[in-house]
Amino acid sequence: MTTLIIGAHGQVGQHIVQQLAATGETVYGAIRNAEQAETITKLGGQARMFDLMGTADAMVPAMNGVDTVVFSAGSGGSTGDDMTLNIDLDGAIKSMIATEKAGIKRFIIVSALGTDDRSFWEKSGIRPYYVAKYYADQWLQHRTNLDYTIVRPGILTNDDPTGKISVDPANADSSKITRSDVAAAVVAVVKHPQPKQIIAIVNGDVAVADAIK
């Protein structure tokens, strides 16, 4: 199985590359800056150039020979709302379009817990981020024919991984999960396909692979 990780140089993306490559899978890390290639190689992946600000057609060559596309890109907290729209929304949608153009069926997107609750957007302090995530998820579900899985993690932390999660938590306000555990969940989804599903995750008391299965 061969997987392309879009956003491979991001914090969650690097964890995904490393953990998935450690299972023996072929992992391509999509990067915009050639200087990031060394990091991807050290993590066990192979770098492919990819520009989320480019056209969907221009993205297709990076998907050659790929079975599954994982979208884990984000504009980051240091950019403005314009880049949130460009990367988290438009970049995600163009990636979906490119995936279909490339003839790939499986698409996994890392979204966010609370995305489907507009009342949560208002109190989050980062409403544009949730708007972008919501409409990207909607496009994936209703405007594509992809076998998708939407992974919605809680508040991300850089704590040490626990290896345990809970699925479908009741409260989005205070639910947290380590970035490494998010990556482990994505790896489990790659290994155990969950087509046409939305999986909300936070740290909990069930082993990641068991919780996903």
How high is the pLDDT of residue 171? 65
Q: 6 pLDDT band (50/70/90 cuts)?
A: very high
Active site residues: 129
Name the strand (E) or helix (H) holding 207: strand 206-207
Global pTM?
0.96
pLDDT digits 0-9 by tens, 65-117: 999 999 999 987 677 889 999 999 999 999 999 999 999 999 999 999 999 99
Beta-bridge partners for 167: 201
The size of the chain, in residues, is 213
Given a contact cutoff of 8 angstroms between Cβ atoms, the answer to whether 161 and 182 are in contact is no
Long-range pairs, 207-213, Cβ under 8 A, ≥24: 207/163, 207/164, 208/163, 208/164, 208/165, 208/181, 208/184, 209/184, 211/164, 211/165, 211/166, 211/167, 211/185, 212/167, 212/185, 212/188, 213/188
- Comparing CA positions, the residue from 9, 16, 10 lying closest to residue 187 is 16
31: left (phi over 0), alpha (psi -120 to 50) or beta: beta
How high is the pLDDT of residue 40? 98
pLDDT digits 0-9 by tens, 101-157: 999 999 999 999 999 999 999 989 899 999 999 999 999 999 999 999 999 999 999
